[in-house]
Amino acid sequence: MCALHGMFYLLQSEGGGSSSSSSRVSEEEIRHSVLPMATDYLHTYLQDTTSPVGQCEQHAAAVWALAFYVLENFEHEVQVS
């Protein structure tokens, strides 16, 4: 669950802060590394019909929050199947 929150945080913080620091990761690097992991996780979790979706409400809420955030903010970069 922490990894899920971490992916969500990194995607939300994209574009925030100043880019003057050389140690900061660029927006494109974040998008190209975190977005595929997030979409793969969402695809796997939401397609799994054997796991009880309501088993952990906090996890399910985080998954749906991430799913809607990705669809709203990265619709041109994500293929919905």
Task: Determine contact, residues 73/11, Cβ cutoff 8 Å.
Answer: yes
pLDDT of res. 39: 92
Tell me how many domains the chain contains.
Answer: 1
For the chain, list residues with pLDDT below 50: 15-19, 22-23
Query: Is residue 18 in some structural domain?
Result: no
Token readout for 57 is: 């409400």
pLDDT of res. 28: 79
Domain that holds residue 38: 1-7+25-81
Query: Is residue 68 in some structural domain?
Result: yes
Give the largest CA-CA distance in the chain: 47
Query: Is residue 31 in some structural domain?
Result: yes
Does the pTM of the predicted model rise above 0.85? no
Chain length of the chain = 81
